[in-house]
Amino acid sequence: MTSNDSPVHPPRAPAWFVELFACPHEADGILGDLAEEFSASVARDGNKEARRCYQRQAWRTIRDLALSPWCTRPSTGSGTFSGLVLAIGIGFTGLVMTIPIAMATRMAAGALVTRYPIYYYVSASLFWGIVDLFSPLMAGFIVALIARGIRFRPMSAGLALVVATAVVLAVDVPIMMWLYGARFAPRPVTLSWWVLRWGRGVLMFGGVMLTGAAIGRMAPVPHNSVPLRTSAR
């Protein structure tokens, strides 16, 4: 299909996200179906309307892929339930993994600043902020690799990790205040402070976790023969 003597391609960003949320071996088939629908829509409705339809269908496909964690869509409700249970388990397992990763990372960073003049090049707050983000990045990367090994959609595992993080951030302060009293909180705990802290934590740590999961999804793994393409045709 051409327009003004130039090939007409589906929108690249939605196509890339569809491929990202799919398993490596199923991405070609899903994108092929979307491309066929796009070509038919171009011939029927024109390029502009076809692109809008493609974007809507792509985001619906991403939603369905994210909520159906198995690489092969289960044929029964029990399969879907087991996938959701496994996703929850992967999410909380990944969250637990951040603890030893964070401890090892901070030890290594402490040794680094002791030996080299790191603060001469970057501020202490920036350096330790980056260090603190390393553990959620690695947790997202690791859960994505685990998911690929068990034929689970890596980005679904990454989203499960974000959900687990959101749950923990919602209850950690109330639990610690219940255990240790009001002196645990660094400031008076108000609803606005709690909501702001929760939202900031989910956006920051969750975004880094999803970035790590995306890296794990795109990383070349020998037993996956279909690599992630950078664009759809």
> Within a domain: residue 45?
yes
Q: How open is the CA angle 146-148-151, to the nearest 5 degrees?
A: 115
60 has a pLDDT exceeding 90:
yes
- C-alpha to C-alpha distance for 206 and 123, rounded to whole angstroms: 24
Contact (Cβ atoms closer than 8 angstroms) between residue 45 and residue 14:
no
Last residue of a domain, one of 14, 35, 67: 67
Pairing state of beta strands 2-3 and 6-7?
Answer: antiparallel
pTM over 0.85: no
Q: Do 88 and 198 have their domain in common?
A: yes
- C-alpha to C-alpha distance for 122 and 100, rounded to whole angstroms: 25
The pLDDT tens digits of the residues spanning 187-218 come to 677 888 889 989 999 999 999 999 999 999 99
Last residue of a domain, one of 67, 94, 116: 67
The tokens describing 6, both together, are 């130039």
> Within a domain: residue 223?
no
Q: Do 140 and 205 have their domain in common?
A: yes
Residue whose pair of structure tokens reads 């008076």 in the numeric block: 188
- C-alpha to C-alpha distance for 142 and 97, rounded to whole angstroms: 9
Indicate the DSSP class of residue 62: H
Share of the chain above pLDDT 70, in %: 84
Q: What is the mean pLDDT of the chain?
A: 84
Domain containing residue 21: 2-67
The pLDDT tens digits of the residues spanning 107-152 come to 999 999 999 999 999 999 999 999 999 999 999 999 999 998 888 8
> How much is the pLDDT for 178?
78
Give counts: helices (H), strands (E), the chain. Answer: 8, 2
With a CB cutoff of 8 Å and minimum separation 6, the contacts of 79 are 70
Residue 182: pLDDT band by 50, 70, 90 thresholds?
low
The pLDDT tens digits of the residues spanning 27-48 come to 899 999 999 999 998 888 888 8
The domain tally of the chain equals 2
Q: Do 40 and 86 have their domain in common?
A: no
- C-alpha to C-alpha distance for 169 and 14, rounded to whole angstroms: 31
> Within a domain: residue 228?
no
Q: Do 91 and 198 have their domain in common?
A: yes
> How much is the pLDDT for 1?
45
- C-alpha to C-alpha distance for 163 and 24, rounded to whole angstroms: 23
Q: Do 130 and 110 have their domain in common?
A: yes
Q: Do 48 and 144 have their domain in common?
A: no
With a CB cutoff of 8 Å and minimum separation 6, the contacts of 10 are 34, 35, 38, 51, 54, 58, 232
49 has a pLDDT exceeding 70:
yes
Q: Do 199 and 103 have their domain in common?
A: yes
Contact (Cβ atoms closer than 8 angstroms) between residue 69 and residue 85:
no
